[in-house]
Amino acid sequence: MKITKVQAYQVLDSRGRPTVSASITLDDASVHTARVPSGASTGAHEATELRDAGTALAEKFYGGKSVHIAVANVNSKIAPALIGNDIALESVDQKLNELDPSLSHEVLGANATLAVSLAAAKAEAHSKNQSLARLFSPTGKLLLPMPMVNILSGGAHANRTLDIQDVLVLPHGAKSFSEALSWIVAIRELAAVRGREQGLVTHLVADEGGLGIPFDSIEEACSFVVSCIEELGLKAGSDVSLALDIASTQFFENGRYELVNAKKSFTSQEFVQFISTLVKNQPIISIEDPFAEDDWQSWSAFAAIAPKQLQLLGDDLFTTSPTRLERGIVEKSANAILIKPNQNGLVSDTLRVLESAHAAGFKTVVSARSGETEDSWLADLATGWKAEQIKVGSTHGSERNAKWNRLLELEATEETKFAQPF
């Protein structure tokens, strides 16, 4: 099938901020649309999200966050290069790389290139009469990923109610995706009830649907979630374990880690020991960005002493970049990588990063962003790519549940098996 039309326009994400939507029309008159997400806790090394701030196109009431330049790049530069071509993701992405050969897609904008790349992936799947998941995994059982889900949120997602970004849970004792999700929903709802009963503030729901309950220390937040797990009759550490997103780049200042709520300040060496003690004292199976994005020495120092079973997960450290991942592999900085397509800018290039991580023995977690849309393509990518884990946010908000519901649909309608990465 051939591409007959490519069109982009501005839409809103779950935070009410503008983002790019792109549609590809094929010669059978089918239309395939993708909307891209946007992060709040963004790493310095991510691909360029092109916005209109400081230009004549900036809309006053969007505070300069409009995306008309990126939209125009799709309509005036990308569309003419694609119309008339056969639909194939690899060829579309190759053309996008030719139009913008910069590493971070700053010429066209990664929000422009990714929207078109995703639309192309959906269009190619249609041309082959496949789901998007089956496009990448055409035979055998689909591997449904283990959900990693926010219960408590802080940092940039919840007005600093916690020093760290999120306390999450991993239901690694569940036997199916649907069972895992039911456990998570119960934990999240019980946490809201117990938070209210204890007089804690729970009216603030964070960007990703987690509870913005304030705690002075990370340890207190972890203990609160563990108590909810155990009250439900689940075993912390064997049925359900904790995962922390520290997002430490946000509080790394002048060479020190500054925990404002806890009123503590650490050197890099001291923070390595603090994280080590935290992991020993809590049922934590995964820890994300415990150190700042360019504090490579602390990453390697901690990796050398971390428990073997601990997932040491790089997000800001790697930003879905092949070169940064390569350095992390060589320096043994981590053993897992968060995969975010909008950090990279193209579907096929994102997949190549994931495949490189798998080849190096890294675990992979395909992740949404804090500013999401109602699209569910992320669930298909995580499944088709055999990522084994997916991080979407919590179980509140239709932009989150769209992904969970898509995974439930795949479990009900396809031949699947549930990933057991731990």
CATH number of the domain that residue 225 is part of: 3.20.20.120
- Give the number of other Cβ atoms within 10 Å of residue 413's Cβ: 9
116 and 146, same domain (yes or no): no
Q: What is the DSSP string of 93-125?
A: HHHHHHH--STT-TTT-HHHHHHHHHHHHHHHH
289 and 175, same domain (yes or no): yes
Residues 259 and 222: beta-carbon distance below 8 Å:
no
End-to-end Cα, the chain, rounded Å = 42
151 and 37, same domain (yes or no): no
pLDDT tens profile 198-214:
877 655 677 888 998 88
Q: Edge-to-edge, what's the strand order for the sheet holding 252-253?
A: 252-253, 256-259, 264-266
pLDDT of 368 higher than 60: yes
What residues contact residue 214 under an 8 Å CB cut-off, 6+ apart?
A: 154, 161, 162, 200, 201, 261
pLDDT tens profile 46-74:
899 999 999 999 999 999 999 999 999 99
Token pair recorded at residue 198: 């204890």
114 and 182, same domain (yes or no): no
CA dihedral 36, 245, 181, 351 (to 10 degrees): 40
- Give the number of other Cβ atoms within 10 Å of residue 236's Cβ: 18
117 and 170, same domain (yes or no): no
Q: Is residue 2 annotated as a catalytic residue, yes or no?
A: no
Q: Looking at the domain assignment, is residue 136 inside a domain?
A: no
257 and 369, same domain (yes or no): yes
57 and 147, same domain (yes or no): no
How far from 248 is each of 184, 218, 225, 287, CA to CA, in Å?
25, 13, 21, 11
Q: Looking at the domain assignment, is residue 294 inside a domain?
A: yes
180 and 323, same domain (yes or no): yes
Q: Looking at 65, 122, 340, 363, which residue is catalytic?
A: 340
The Cα 85–Cα 96 span in angstroms is 13
Express as a percent the part of the chain with pLDDT over 70: 97
Q: Looking at the domain assignment, is residue 221 inside a domain?
A: yes
Q: Looking at the domain assignment, is residue 135 inside a domain?
A: no
Q: Looking at the domain assignment, is residue 262 inside a domain?
A: yes
Q: Looking at 46, 49, 208, 288, which residue is catalytic?
A: 208
Q: How confident is the model at residue 43 (pLDDT cuts 50, 70, 90)?
A: low
Q: Which of 129, 164, 195 is the last residue of a domain?
A: 129
The predicted structure's pLDDT at residue 39: 76
Q: Looking at the domain assignment, is residue 348 inside a domain?
A: yes
What residues contact residue 47 under an 8 Å CB cut-off, 6+ apart?
A: 104, 105, 110, 319, 342, 343, 344, 345
What is the domain range of residue 413? 142-418
Q: Is residue 208 annotated as a catalytic residue, yes or no?
A: yes
Q: Looking at the domain assignment, is residue 279 inside a domain?
A: yes
* Mean pLDDT along residues 138-152: 97
pLDDT tens profile 224-246:
999 999 999 999 999 999 999 99
Report the amino acid identity of residue 83.
I
Token pair recorded at residue 161: 């109610």
The predicted structure's pLDDT at residue 7: 98
Q: What is the DSSP string of 170-206?
A: E-TT-SSHHHHHHHHHHHHHHHHHHHHHTT-----B-
Query: What is the pTM assigned to this prediction?
Result: 0.95
Q: How confident is the model at residue 262 (pLDDT cuts 50, 70, 90)?
A: confident
Q: Looking at the domain assignment, is residue 377 inside a domain?
A: yes
Sole residue written with tokens 């997949």:
351
297 and 369, same domain (yes or no): yes
Residue 20 sits in a domain whose CATH number is 3.30.390.10
Residues 381 and 413: beta-carbon distance below 8 Å:
no
pLDDT of 405 higher than 70: yes
Does residue 408 sit in helix, strand or coil? helix
Q: Write the burial class of residue 129 (CB in 10 Å: 0-12 exposed, 13-18 middle, 19+ buried).
A: exposed
Going by C-alpha positions, the residue among 381, 340, 383, 392 that lies closest to residue 148 is 392
pLDDT of 155 higher than 80: no
The predicted structure's pLDDT at residue 194: 92
